[in-house]
Structure 1
């Protein structure tokens, strides 16, 4: 029986400590700030290693391109083709949207004036 009482007291003490920790807003805020800082440091370390890897790869590619003149000539037409495709796609989307808006506007304006007048005063 005494063991049960001691066990219950210990559990109650743990529960009280847990509740006190939950109500301590300042400590919880500091803990959350520490967690965010740790995650940020980890992400920064990962970003640094990735950047170093990409930089090393880029240096190798630049060095290879400098030795191989055909690689240097092949890159700009590809970039230009991609740019032209993007511009053409954008122009196509804009033209289609304008045509749709004009058609909708014309459809709204095609109604006779008595119908619009009646709609206004119903």
Structure 2
């Protein structure tokens, strides 16, 4: 269709179409120029990425800890574990029966630690 063959309705439709395209372009430019919104989007994106990495790290650490715990329990014979439990029980019973020697030993150990710290700071 040539320019001379266009009707006023065709011209009006063309103008309306051009206005819509211009409005879309202006809206896109306004969105790009909205620095605050873009900064907020970037913050949200970074938070989501960081949260994902933290979750992955937690899962990895938990899996590693569970594996180490399982290896330790597999490597420890039952007799050693039972013996250690019995020794701990015996030590606890003796400490409850004789609290003064245990307190003296604890106080001495605390004194040694405090003395060592004071000496090392000089």
Taking structure 2 as the reference length, the TM-score comes to 0.48
Tell me which protein shows more helix as a share of its residues: 1
